[in-house]
Structure 1
Amino acid sequence: MNPYRVLAAVAADWGRLGPYLRSGTAGTEGAAGTEDAAGTEDAAVTANGLSSALRSLRSMERHAPGRTAAAGETARFVLALLPPAEAERLVAAHPDRLAGTLEDGTSEKAPAEEVYAGFTVADLAFLLLDDNPMVGPLLGPVRERLLSYPMLDDWAAEAHARTHGLIRLRGESGARGMDRIRIRIPSFQFGDAVTPWPVVVAVNGLLDAGRDPWGAADWWLSANGYLGVAPAELLGRGQDSQLVGTARYLVEGE
């Protein structure tokens, strides 16, 4: 099998296959009766092994020695957690690796053999390890764009770890996606780097930023048809009521 494409295919079909990996059980397809305690323990061990293997894989440079072996180990953990029929389908659909070439002739993108429907192993890591839904050919670029805006430094982010009403973007893990999950807090939310704008807290509440921080960040940092500019550009300019009204209209309608 091609382990990279197997892992990317799972990311592409996350809505259906993700619950098997999250729960650490293989489901009930093809099984008789209820999984016993030993089976449950084995599944938990496999799920932990998958998390560890995926962390190790995403920390490797693209051409690092042993990367293909690490991808194979990760794929085997994934397949062990899926129902047998799903595992067999994935293996059959993605046969042995081919001698692929780099897209556009560069080393900045994954080889074609590592991509499935625009998804890669990195997307599976975002989904499983970071609980970050901003993946794939459509949402991945949005994630990168939002993370390119100024953020609080690590010290300030830690100081505001419990500050109410802030957008927190989870899953940016440092250089080459190392295994330390970081919480990124967009700095536009602060007037003086210490105190959040009250209107930001109010609007974030309307946008339910605690549940959908990426959607809230996208609202603040993208051009708005009603306001004519990105809402964040109006902070501190006496437009608080207009910001609240526009967010309320988005959520509640007319």
Structure 2
Amino acid sequence: MKIVACFKVVRDERDLVVAPDRTVTLDACGLRVGDYDLNAIEAGAQLAADGGELVALTVGGEEVRDSKLRKSVLSRGVSALTSVVDPSLTTADAGVTAEVLAAAVGRVEGVDLVVCGEGSADRYAQQVGAQLAARLGLPYLNAVSKIEVSADGLVVERTLDGVVETLAVPLPAVLSVTSDLNSPRIPTMKDILGAGKKPATDWSLADLGVACSGPARVAGPERAPESRQRAGAVYEAAQQQEFFDALRRLIGKDAK
């Protein structure tokens, strides 16, 4: 089975800085792979463990060329890494991302399965998987929490509104997986050293023959929520009625 696992390079929000005007600055933030995307990579690695092949695929600007990050991805059971690099893709929205990913997947021969995370760690729009499947013309299932290989394709489970669905999926297909599916592996030193010997390929938009259908929508500037001092009051009453009388007075005061 040949599998493509899509992932996104995001800023590590633990290092973000909030300025006095509440503007959020990400300049000091390091890079990481989104948490849900690690679940997608792990799912692909487990499915490819018995003689399959796993290709990790990402799109973005120069940040996707980060050597440490590439080694981290390649050390997680990935056979090869492909990056589509263009400055405009740093701020690509779900539509543009899906368009470029579809063009890249189309250049990978013999793909049986495309796995995406449930949503990106920054926007969490949960749109890329569905739009990617639509562009590829493939069956799509989201919220997947269990995957098993069958004679005719895959059997997956997903939980929607408290109901567990068990569905048969023909291949090729696109899946979006949740964090309930697995626990991403922690690479060993051997995995990390071996990652440096695995192929990493960069493609440009021109290589794919892609002229994006529209500009990315950029939200900004981002601002942190305004911090407000919240008042608190403690009332003690021997009788229940005394408490309700005090509560009515408090509500009436706040309403003025």
TM over 0.5: no
Question: TM-score scaled to structure 1, two decimals?
Answer: 0.21
Task: Name the structure, 1 or 2, with higher relative contact order (CA <8 Å, separation 6+).
Answer: 2
Q: Which has the larger radius of gyration?
A: 2
Please identify which structure carries the higher helix content: 1
Please identify which structure carries the higher strand content: 2
